[in-house]
Amino acid sequence: MIGLLIRYCCVFLIFSFAQSSWAQAKWDTIPKQPDHYRKKVELFNQEKTKTDRLVFLGNSITEGGDWKRLAKDTTAINRGISGDITFGLLARVDEVASRKPSKVFILIGVNDLSKGIPDEVILQNIFLLVRQLQAKSPTSKIYVQSILPVNPSFDNFPKDYDKLDHILVINAQLQKIAERFGYTYIDLFEKFKDSEGLLDKRFSYDGLHLSAQGYLLWGEVLRNLKLIK
């Protein structure tokens, strides 16, 4: 009981700090592709609500995956939206929770970094997202995946390629706080990096997004952890 109280006190303090910080500073909280975001959210909300076993939640990196095939599960649904950020996930958490999924896989943060949103705000948003999912769908198991490495040898996304230090900080905190917040951390970064700590070119076509081989590796990582078939 004491441990539970300590946990929730920590949560309260973190979110109190977040609210005070947000009140003092303003960031661009709009997803990078607002029209695409709006259309996808409208489409999701029009879909018949049913119980889905697996939900994959995130940005374009998640959206690009054929999760029914990768997970070998026809009930898997893709809730990735290209250009999405942590604020965007928070705005659509109810639709995901309403499906009462058995597992939710979250991967988010790189677009926040390209917008200059501070690391601590990204982390606070992810923790809040986890708490909201737990409150609205308490039987769901939450899996927070590390932000993937990037590779600046490409020139498509210069605002993303220089964020490697931030990615490492966020990933370390996501791993450190996992037990306290009741989610499972999945380290994709280590699986996708090359010998220099960058996104391995074998798994990407632009240094940020994944190639077909990249998605196969992602599926293999989850399968080896016995999280998908």
> How large is the average pLDDT for residues 196-221?
98
> How large is the average pLDDT for residues 204-222?
98
Q: Give me the phi and psi of 206, to 5 degrees please.
A: -145, 10
Q: Is the pLDDT of residue 14 over 70?
A: no
Beta carbons of 94 and 45 less than 8 angstroms apart: no
pLDDT band at 158 (very low <50, low <70, confident <90, very high): confident
Structural domains in the chain? 33-224 (3.40.50.1110)
The C-alpha atoms of residue 115 and residue 28 are separated, in whole angstroms, by 7
* 105, HSE (Cβ side, Cα atoms, 13 Å): 29
96 by Cβ neighbours in 10 Å (0-12 / 13-18 / 19+) ranks as buried
In tens, the pLDDT along 53-70 reads 999 999 999 999 999 999
pLDDT band at 200 (very low <50, low <70, confident <90, very high): very high
pTM of the predicted protein model: 0.88
Q: Both tokens of residue 141?
A: 């198991």
Q: Is the pLDDT of residue 19 over 60?
A: no
In tens, the pLDDT along 182-191 reads 999 999 999 9
In tens, the pLDDT along 117-139 reads 999 999 999 999 999 999 999 99
